[in-house]
Amino acid sequence: MSKEKKINIEDGNAKEQVLNENAEQNATQNNDNVENKADEQNAEKADTKSADADNQTENTDNEADKAEVDPLKMAQQEVEELKKALLYKTAEFENYRKRTMKEKTELILNGGEKTISAILPVLDDFERALADKSEDPKAIKEGVQMIFNKFIKTLEGLGVKKIETADKDFDVDFHEAIAMVPGMGDDKKGKVIDCVQTGYTLNDKVIRHAKVAVGQ
């Protein structure tokens, strides 16, 4: 064998050896990459499991905290809130009661203010009539009649009305019989013959019954 062929054979073996070494290095590197990826995936899975475990632990702790709430403390807190609400309502009612009592007292003391104010002009007329030096009986009578009419109108303005008795049937709701008059005939039986004292109503309520004589 010549020297050239020997050299070529040796060069071929060397190249083949180099290629084999490169292939082994690539395979080793690929294996390392695969192992690294597997390690990364395993690490990610481990982190995920750890996070899930932490969340589960936190939820368990929260549930445990809720379970550990003392029912007695909750009841006491509700009682305190109810006490505050009761005190507030009691104070509010007490203020209302005092205000109502004050208004009622003022109404009792000053309830006749409207009536007195309406009657005062009639009193003024009486004072003027008394101050008049006239001696004419007719003029005096006319003056008194005017004051009387004014007084009646004032009373009507206050809701006071006269109970009519002339030719009226006797009615126990409005009349009080103080005398029975016999021999008046059948047409007068049970009817008012005479009114001894006038009766009045205030806003349709009888405040004084009319005292009458009734036919028998």
DSSP, residue by residue, 155-197: HHHTTEEEPP-TTPBP-TTTEEEEEEE-SS-GGGTTBEEEEEE
**For residue 123, what is the domain's CATH number?**
3.90.20.20
Say yes or no: 165 and 149 in one domain. Answer: no
* Rounded percentage of the chain residues whose pLDDT exceeds 70: 68
**For residue 216, what is the domain's CATH number?**
2.30.22.10
Q: Which domain holds residue 101?
A: 84-158
Residues 190-198, mean pLDDT to the nearest whole number = 92
Integer Cα distance of 180 and 194 in angstroms? 10
Inside any domain, residue 15: no
Instruction: Please report, to the nearest 10 degrees, the dihedral formed by the alpha carbons of residues 144, 145, 150, 156 taken in order.
Output: 130
pLDDT value of position 12: 46
- 207 Cβ contact partners less than 8 Å away, ≥ 6 residues apart: 160, 200, 201
Say yes or no: 97 and 154 in one domain. Answer: yes
Residue 207 in this model has a pLDDT that exceeds 70: yes
Inside any domain, residue 195: yes
> Dihedrals φ, ψ of 27, to 5°?
-65, -40
pTM recorded for the entire structure: 0.51
